[in-house]
Amino acid sequence: MAHRHVPAKKVQVGIIGAGPAGLLLAHLLHLAGISSVVIEAKSRKYVEERIRAGVLEQGTVDVLRETGIGARMDREGLLHHGTILKFAGEARRIDFQDLTGQAVMVYGQHEVVKDLIAARLESGGEIVFDVSDTRIDGIEGREPTVSYLKDGARHTLACDFVAGCDGFHGVSRAAIPADVLRVYERVYPFGWLGILAKSPPASEELIYANHERGFALLSMRSPEISRLYLQCPPDEEIANWPDERIWEELQVRLAGGEGWRLEEGPVIQKGVTAMRSFVAEPMRHGRLFLAGDAAHIVPPTGAKGMNLAVGDVRVLARGLEAFYRDGGEDGLAAYSDTCLRRIWKVQRFSWWMTQMLHTFDDASPFDRRRQLAELDYLTTSRAAATTLAENYVGLPMDWGPQ
């Protein structure tokens, strides 16, 4: 079908994807006086209601506060100074505050997304929702373009740079030639069945449970809403899990001492997520920069995905700022390496948490005893507990030999 072509619009940075990466990048660029347009395949309502991550690292909290979008998070978010590990019938606490002097904030990703969209629109920013057939051209030259269909017409953004913030299933990564891109991947033999329930969380802090029937996690979105997960087969049919079965299994896997029970309530939402570790390198080709899930995926056990996206766009925004200030390209040239140094450490942490807390069908009795010994060590040695705590609250962006 031939589409009407709207004359190209000039913008400094074309941003593909209105997830946390794309929206925060647009916000940071705006504060630096750099123009951008964000395009998004889904509707505003869809992205604002998409339930995903829930834990913000200290560094993520700091960025939101410092850039003027932390007010609602500070009012409604839940500050957590530690977390509980359950295994072999015991509950043991890791005290982030004591071990690192830092904490994390439990505040839904969709709330961050709402706050970012509101801030962008309030300051006159442009976010185009419901686009289709996104195309990226000319990234090896100086004038790349992003084009898309909207309301029956093809629109084009003539950009200086393109930010591919379109998640794991987006089109940006594929715009990098296959002989340039290197992919590292590990797929896990299980997924997470996640529910959102109208019931007060049975614990003030998150509970990560290693149980012989499989991993379980108790998290929350507010004092009235629980977020709970169960390890399940990666291709599990949600139809196999009526609400009663989910609660029964959660009660068993998260079981505590005498009299402690999860408070059950209506299930508002449920879904299954497959789990993988994935990194694409390099994260830049010509004038295209990948950020967030477009470049990497972590299994959710370390609560790191959204925080990595925030880390990437901070580095990218700084590089673009330097470029527009004095033409310097060092920051942009270092973008991929700077991000990847942190990403690989976070990949390691997410993999480590995953292998320690889940059950594996091919695990030997030796593997099982080793897992339990690791959890025992982790919760009795201050040195070991500190390695978990400092990763969980978040490694600094520029960590490495100085």
Tell me how long the chain is. 402
**Catalytic (active site) residue 184:** no
Q: How far is the CB of 97 from ligand PHB (least distance, A)?
A: 18
Using the minimum distance from each CB to ligand RFL, give the nearer residue, 313 or 375. 313
47 binds, among ligand PHB, ligand RFL, none (CB under 5 to 8 A by kind): ligand RFL
Crossing angle between the packed helical segments 330-357 and 365-378, to the nearest 10 degrees:
120
110 forms part of the interface with ligand PHB (CB under 6 A): no
Q: How far is the CB of 249 from ligand PHB (least distance, A)?
A: 18
Question: Which residue among 164, 300, 319, 394 contacts ligand PHB (CB under 6 A)?
Answer: 300
| DSSP H or E segment with residue 254 | none
Using DSSP, state whether 166 is helix, strand or coil. coil
Q: How far is the CB of 318 from ligand RFL (least distance, A)?
A: 18
Active-site residue, selected from the candidate residues 148, 229, 324, 392: 392
**Catalytic (active site) residue 150:** no
How much is the CA Rg of the chain, to the nearest whole Å? 22
Residue keyed to tokens 């904030």? 105
Active-site residue, selected from the candidate residues 201, 304, 335, 358: 304
Q: How far is CA 243 from CA 52, 58, 207, 321, in A?
A: 20, 34, 20, 50
Q: How far is the CB of 24 from ligand PHB (least distance, A)?
A: 19
Q: Taking the alpha carbons of 108, 110, 111, 115 in that order, is the dihedral positive or negative?
A: positive
Active-site residue, selected from the candidate residues 27, 30, 80, 86: 80
**Catalytic (active site) residue 46:** no
301 binds, among ligand PHB, ligand RFL, none (CB under 5 to 8 A by kind): ligand PHB
Q: What is the CA 186 to chain-centroid distance, rounded?
A: 17
Q: How far is the CB of 376 from ligand RFL (least distance, A)?
A: 25
Using the minimum distance from each CB to ligand RFL, give the nearer residue, 85 or 165. 165
Strand partners, 79: 105
The site string for ligand PHB over 221-240 (x = CB under 6 A, - otherwise) reads ------x-------------
Tokens encoding 250: 């959660």
Q: How far is CA 89 from CA 82, 146, 179, 222, in A?
A: 19, 54, 50, 27
Q: Nearest residue to ligand PHB, using CB?
A: 54
**Catalytic (active site) residue 5:** no
Residues 35-54 within binding reach of ligand PHB (CB under 6 A): 53-54
263 near 118, Cβ under 8 Å? no
* Residue numbers annotated as active site: 80, 208, 300, 304, 392
